[in-house]
A and B are shown apart, each in its own frame.
Chain A
Amino acid sequence: MPETLLSVENLSTVFDIGGGNPFAKALELKAVSDVSFTLEAGETLGIVGESGCGKSTLGRSILRLIEPTHGRVVWQGKSLTDLSVGEMRKARRDLSIIFQDPVASLDPRMNVGKIIEEPLKVAEPSLGRKARRERIEKVMEEVGLAPEMINRYPHEFSGGQAQRIGIARAIVTEPKLIVCDEPVSALDVSIQAQIVNLLKALKERMGLTLIFISHDLSVVRLVSDRILVLYLGRVVEIGPRREVFANPGHPYSKALLAAAPIPDPAIARSREKTPLKGDPPSPINPPSGCAFRTRCPIARDVCAEKLPPLVDVGRGHRAACLFTGDVRADEAIAG
């Protein structure tokens, strides 16, 4: 049994909105509600969902870049959410993040060396200048950049190169967990493949654990061991990749899979079409009961009354639908 590296327990992140008006009734936006999962060392968890479903907020809440409102994040047995600011700062050397926009994530006034150096300085203040420089050059080599680029500035690089710099910064402290927040969605497809392969190779080599956030199922499929499907801040399905892709237990996951583009028109045409209608409801005022019921093809009256719990549907696969059986039976007929 591999060790549990990270466990997220009932994590919720609520934003107060309504601006600075102290007289207006404060509105709450539940970006993440009641999310729980565990992550084993060396595992890659893919988090998928539509825009605005709370993927990024979840990733940032785990790292406490956004303070979660409720729940705990337990990292190697100690609760990150209970750490003081100073202790959290120390813990950060094991945790890292890669951002979506590679250029915006690099300070335009710093050269590559300074950018990569920053986390290293915090994590290992005792390291001398020369030793730091060596580490930086080594890490640049690791991510496929020439060490001669060390004096260059971010705007001189292509998107792919900039993302490599971002990755170098993320791995320079030799972290254990990296949250990849849509690391390839701002890149060209050919570059996407490079970056995904680089991440996979680094993961192997350094024994990393990844949380891979993306709305692109084909990318998630490539890297993830397990998949977590998020809808309006709630986990609707979580399970091993193969299981979720082959046999989704929630109508939303099913629709999501059906909507993923297939590069072969013959297969695409023959595929059953279950497009989702409408936009996701507002997270400020979510529907009662199951949040997905407003767009669900199999919704019934009970769905409005009861919040469906996450139930085991076999083989480490859990889904939050009252009619999982129907979803899967339907799938079996169609498949």
Chain B
Amino acid sequence: MTLYAGKREALEDAFIGRDDEMPRGKPRSVTRDALRRFRANKAAMTALVVFVLIVLAAIVGPYLVPYDYETPDWEAFTAPPSIESGHYFGTDQNGRDLLARTLYGTRVSLLVALIATTVSVIVGVLYGAVSGFAGGRIDSAMMRFVDVMYALPYILFVILLMVMFGRNVFLLFAAIGLLEWLTMARIVRGQTLSLKEKEFVEAARAAGVSSFAIILRHIVPNLVGPVVIYASLTIPEIVITESFLSYLGFGVQEPLTSLGTLISEGTGAIGSADWLLLFPGGVLVTMLLALAFIGDGLRDAFDPKDR
């Protein structure tokens, strides 16, 4: 090994000079920096707490409420909210406890959003990164396919998928995730185009790293910022989509429920039983607001320059 040949003299050491002034504090990775900025953002942190509370309520809440979401209480049909009866949110026209139904509906909406967002992130990131990194004709072909998918009417797809998957709501939303990835793929592709020209990618190529490893090791980790931000915006979008489809009767079926279904039923009872709209609507609005603030906070945390 020529590297450590006997030639290494003290003189030469002095000649090279060292530059080893240590940076202070703990090592700060980009993600750690972003999280620190996020924690400093009061609005986002409050929103995060609210969102976590809603998620916790949706997970454990149904077990704590004395009523379940499908059994009618024969004593109370369309009963207004009251502390004494134990129907804190009141009951619906069939005598079912609205609190239990709202908690259950939140759980379904969140689950659906989680499935669809996960699917769209995985597909979108891989598709976009490969397309952008490959470039040239492959990129053009892949992006034209995305354009075609964009142009197809969404509802048509949903109806087709309904025929294919029948009444399985979760499969349906996995499929909706497969439609939602289009925008993600475009965003990721754009980022990849600029990332792949960076010198650190060239350095990896010069070291002989394979293209696939470069995508996974250098491109995807550097996409975390925009992907997290966009994913946090996709969740409310899917919650709304689900509400919309349920409203049309395509989504979750009785006696199972979701926030969208509850709200659509509630709108029919405006004037006679306002609480049927107000409670599920309030939960949905709170959740969407919280998510919007979280998304905003994440954007500021990951791209402090764009504020």
Contacts and interface: CB of A to CB of B under 8 A. Distances in A.
B206 interface: yes
Contacts of A201: 12, 15-16
Interface stretch (B207-215, B230-238, B246-254): B207-215
Interface in B4-42: 4-5, 7-8, 12, 15-23, 27-31
Contacts of B3: 138, 142, 171, 174, 205-206
Interface stretch (B100-108, B125-133, B194-202, B269-277): B194-202
B20 A108 contact: no
A207 B2 CA distance: 7
Contacts of B28: 153, 155-156
B202 A92 contact: no
B221 interface: yes
Given A99-B203, A107-B218, A206 B208 contact: no
A90 B210 CA distance: 11
Contacts of A164: 19
A96 B4 CA distance: 19
A123 B12 CA distance: 29
B197 to A, nearest CB: 10
B46 interface: no
Contact of B19 (A142, A160, A174): A160
A152 B23 CA distance: 8
Interface of A is mostly: helix
A197 B206 contact: no
B140 interface: yes
A92 B208 contact: yes
Interface string A96-134: 110111001111110100000011001100000000000
A20 interface: yes
B45 interface: no
Interface residues of B, number: 40
B209 A122 contact: yes
B206 A97 contact: yes
A169 B209 CA distance: 13
B221 A109 contact: yes
Interface in B153-209: 198-200, 202-209
B5 A99 contact: no
Contacts of B206: 63, 65, 92, 95-97
A194 to B, nearest CB: 5
Nearest to A96: B206
Interface string A75-96: 0000000000000111011011
A222 interface: no
A158 B22 CA distance: 10
A97 B2 contact: no
Interface of B: 1-5, 7-8, 12, 15-23, 27-31, 140, 198-200, 202-210, 217-218, 221-222, 224
19 contacts: A92-B207, A97-B202, A97-B203, A104-B200, A105-B199, A105-B200, A105-B203, A119-B207, A122-B207, A123-B208, A144-B19, A149-B20, A158-B21, A160-B19, A171-B3, A174-B3, A194-B17, A197-B17, A198-B17
Interface of A: 20, 60, 63, 65, 88-90, 92-93, 95-97, 99-101, 104-109, 111, 118-119, 122-123, 138, 142, 144-146, 148-149, 151-153, 155-158, 160-161, 164, 166, 169, 171, 173-174, 191, 194, 197-198, 201, 204-207
